[in-house]
Amino acid sequence: MQGRVFVIGLGLIGGSLALCIKKEHEYATVIGFDVNEKQRELAYKLGIINEQCYSIEEGAREADLILIATPVKEAELILEQLSCCVLKNDVIISDAGSTKGKIVEKSACLTRQGVTFIGGHPMAGSHKSGILAAKERLFENAFYLLTPTDDVQTEKVETLKRWLQGTRAKFLTLKPGEHDHITGIISHFPHIVAASLVHQARQADNGDKLVERLAAGGFRDITRIASSNPEMWRDILLHNKEVLLQLIKQWQLEMVQVEKMLLEEDGENILQYFQKAKQLRDSLPSKDRGAIPAFYDLFVDVPDYPGIISEITGYLAKERISITNIRILETREDIYGVLVISFQTDEDRLRAEKCIHHYTDYVTSYGL
- What's the pLDDT score for residue 92? 98
Say yes or no: 340 and 193 in one domain: no
Say yes or no: 246 and 222 in one domain: yes
* pLDDT tens-digit series, residues 14-42: 999 999 999 999 999 999 999 999 999 99
Percent pLDDT > 90 in the chain is: 61
Q: Which of 283, 311, 330 is a domain's end point? A: 283
* Structural domain count, the chain: 3
Q: How far, in Å, CA of 10 to CA of 345, rounded?
A: 23
Say yes or no: 160 and 192 in one domain: no
* pLDDT tens-digit series, residues 187-210: 999 999 999 999 998 888 766 677
Q: Which of 283, 317, 342 is a domain's end point? A: 283
Lowest mean pLDDT among 114-118, 148-152, 162-166, 320-324: 320-324
Q: How far, in Å, CA of 216 to CA of 31, rounded?
A: 44
Say yes or no: 279 and 346 in one domain: no
Say yes or no: 248 and 276 in one domain: yes
Say yes or no: 101 and 28 in one domain: yes
The CATH number of residue 349's host domain is 3.30.70.260
Percent pLDDT > 70 in the chain is: 90
**Residue 288: inside a domain, yes or no?**
no
Say yes or no: 206 and 220 in one domain: yes
Domain range enclosing 267? 179-283
Mean pLDDT, range 162-186, rounded to an integer: 95
Say yes or no: 133 and 215 in one domain: no
246-250's contacts with Cβ under 8 Å and 24+ in sequence apart are 247/184, 247/185, 247/189, 248/189, 248/192
**Residue 229: inside a domain, yes or no?**
yes
**Residue 290: inside a domain, yes or no?**
no
Q: Which of 239, 257, 283 is a domain's end point? A: 283
**Residue 48: inside a domain, yes or no?**
yes
**Burial letters 67-101, b for 16+ CB under 10 A, else e:** bbbbbbbebbebbeebbebebbeebbbbbbbbbbb
**Residue 115: inside a domain, yes or no?**
yes
The CATH number of residue 212's host domain is 1.10.3660.10
Say yes or no: 208 and 251 in one domain: yes
